[in-house]
Amino acid sequence: MNLNPERIATRERLILTGLYLSKYDSLGLKKLGFESFVEAFNVLGYAMASRPASIKNYRDEFDPVFPNPRKGWHKRPMRACCLKVLQEYQNLDFESFTGLVKSFVLYDENLWSEFRSGAERDDKEACFAARLATGIAAEQYFESVHSTIAEFEGYALENTTHLGCGYDFRLQADTLEDSLAVEVKGLRDQNGSVSLTPKEHEAAAAMGDRFFLFVVKNFRDTPFHEMFRNPLLSKLVFRRNERVVVQVSWLATV
């Protein structure tokens, strides 16, 4: 049994996620913080840079094996790739399996705990689903559709999420001055609030029409997007929101 996500291929990750959702059904959904299978398929599918339908199909593949309300693909034998995964991971316990699925989308519980509010720390499961939808799932959605957007035609895409430059993607042109910037936000519902960090707000103000806010909506059902060019001068109204955070550390003299 391989529990190192870096050594598990994308297809096997999708199969394992389908196995988890079939085996643990509503308990698995709750543990991951999703309110429906549709939401789970959408968020996990995009977060793994795959089609949401892929996870659904793998879940259906395993449904005849487990006592859940669905019949799944019961009229034909299980595919060899799924049977192999089932035999290898069928004895993995619930907590370990949950951790494995979370690791597929680079979710680090210890890292997130440093940035969560008190309410979020009390509801780890909901935090996972919300963070995934508003973060990596939305970013992967953008990567999957950006080539179809007229404003970005002819540009080369660069992921800048880990560079701290105030936006998630750079659309590169011949010169840096002609390049575009895209900040991606995600919403679980059709409407909601989005916020800009000071760095993002500064980048939006400096770049003007070269800065795009790309909002992916409705992960609970059918995701779609809305894009705002120069968002600070768009129909959106941003209000300054200040919050005081008390950070405690422990010091020792060595």
For 176, the 3-state DSSP assignment is helix
Report the pLDDT value the prediction gives residue 111, as an integer from 0 to 100. 43
Q: How far is CA 151 from the centre of its chain?
A: 24
Choice between 252 and 35, residue whose per-residue pLDDT is larger: 35
* Residues 6+ positions from 68 with CB-CB distance below 8 Å: 22, 25
List the chain domain ranges. Answer: 5-134, 144-233
Residue 219: C-alpha distances to residues 44, 177, 205 (Å): 10, 34, 29
Mean pLDDT of 198-215: 97
pLDDT digits (tens, 9 = 90+) for 14-62: 999 999 999 999 999 999 999 999 999 999 999 999 999 999 999 999 9
Contact 217, 248 (CB under 8 A): no
pLDDT digits (tens, 9 = 90+) for 91-123: 999 999 999 999 998 755 544 444 444 444 445
Report the pLDDT value the prediction gives residue 222, as an integer from 0 to 100. 96
- Of these ranges, 2-11, 63-72, 101-110, 225-234, the one predicted with the greatest mean pLDDT is 225-234
Report the pLDDT value the prediction gives residue 85, as an integer from 0 to 100. 97
Contact 186, 135 (CB under 8 A): yes
